[in-house]
Structure 1
Amino acid sequence: MDKKIMKIYDAGDHDRAIHLLIKKIDNEPKNVDNYLQLATFLIEQNSAQQALELLQKAQVVVDQPEKSSYDIAVCYYMLGEFEKSLKLIDSLPNDDETLYQKSLIFMKMGQYQKALAFALTIKKQDNKILELLGDIWLSLGELKAAHDSFAKVPEKQRSAKVNFLLGLTIFDKDQKQAEQFFSEAKKLDKNYVAQAEKQYSAIAKLIRGKDGSN
């Protein structure tokens, strides 16, 4: 990865960073790392289709085409082509990245037990994994397990989503504490909370159905 270009991208000058990478690709067409970095930028810019086309073309010319397989699988996932993504991921060695992607795919496919099995196998349980585990437990209706997973994310590193779901998972048991989580979520991202609240009634039914009370 080109660190100088990464700094330009992180500074918000996305167009320049992308232009510089395209220039590098023109100069070094066989270097797969340039394609991977550009694909990452395109995915972050919600251009997964462009990223997929770039990586597919790269496989014909680069020296190490196998290095792009994981990223192609991510593109398929982003485009909702879960079966294609899973087939490609299954051809790769199991490590934390592939296990995470498998878990995401099964989560999207509604196969929550399989998603859980892969997520629990991941060795490095960082914030991204803790959030995924919380999502899976919530989808399974296991509120305490979901809350415990979200709560392991350090307080200062919690996103609006994590705070909101922390509140949601304890709303029926401790409304005062739940409201504090909702308040923290609003401070971070009012738009997210507004969207999440629209889904609240459906999630609340899941919670009440699971608890059999309220």
Structure 2
Amino acid sequence: MNQEVQDLFAQGQRETAIVKLTQLLNADPNNVDLLVQLATMLIQVTDLTQARQLLQRAAVLAPDRADITYNRAIIAHQLQQNDQAIALLTTILHSEYAREASYMLAVIYFEQADLPRATVFALTAVEDKNAGFTENLLLAQIFAKQQLWTQALPYAQQALKLEPDNPDIAFTAGAVLLNTQQLEAGTQLLQQAAKVAPKKYGDAVKLILAE
């Protein structure tokens, strides 16, 4: 990975970073690290067609690299080609990308309302030593969707601890606390979610608190 270019991208100079990386890649077209780095940047700016082409080239050069497979799965998911995404992710469940693959499988199955599978993969992801906010939030949301409030509680609390100002966890944790008889704390979190993200949560919070 070219750190200078990565820093430019992180600082918001995305177009400059992509141009520089493209120039480096033109001079070294079989550099797999640069192919993956550029593809990852293009995914973030939603140039999925070009990103997919780069990853296909990278996969020919390094077919066993889990990061290539993972990013190909991300593109497939964004293009709503979920069968392909699931197939790709399944192949890297025992790689160094196991947590990321499990998390994305949980996301896909949650979107498909396949809650048993979503739960299994979300639990696998959250048990990883590097699990953080997103993994805990997702599992809390999956349990909450099933109204398994007691099971949701520790994951909601952990996510809230990691990002206390995030409206998504404020809403989820608020609902969980209300349904575990922690009414005051739950109400405060729901009101926080509505205040921070009124378009997303305002109406839902009004309905919940009116009950």
TM-score by length of 1: 0.79
Taking structure 1 as reference, are residues 47 and 150 closer, same or farther at Cα in structure 2, changes over 3 Å only? farther
Worse-superposed segment, 128-137 or 99-108: 99-108
State yes or no: 1:160 paired with 2:160. no
What amino acid sits opposite 2:99 in the alignment? D
Question: Which of 106, 114, 129 lines up with 1:111 in the alignment?
Answer: 114
Matched residues, percent identical? 23
Which residue among 164, 169, 174 is the counterpart of 2:176? 169
Task: Point out the more displaced range, 147-156 or 20-29.
Answer: 147-156
Kept in 1, the 8 Å contact 2:35–2:54? The answer is yes
Which residue number corresponds to residue 129 of structure 1?
135
Q: How far is 1:56 from its partner?
A: 2.4
Return 5+ residue gaps in structure 2 as ranges.
Answer: none
Higher mean C-alpha deviation, range 42-51 or range 101-110? 42-51
Q: Which residue of 1 aligns with 2:37?
A: 37
- The Cα offsets for residues 110-165 of structure 1, whole Å up to 9 and x where unpaired, read as 21111111222232232221112112112222123223212112535232211121
> Take 2:41 and 2:203, find their aligned partners in 1: how far apart are those partners?
31
Q: Point out the more displaced range, 107-116 or 193-202.
A: 193-202
CA RMSD after TM alignment: 2.6
Farther-moved stretch of structure 1 (150-159 vs 101-110): 150-159
Contact 2:156 2:176 in 1 (8 A): no
Q: Aligned residue for 2:201?
A: 196
Equivalent pair of 1:160/1:185 in contact (CA under 8 Å): yes
Change (3 A) 1:201 1:87: farther
Q: CA deviation at 1:26?
A: 1.0
TM-score using structure 2 length: 0.80
Count the aligned residue pairs: 199
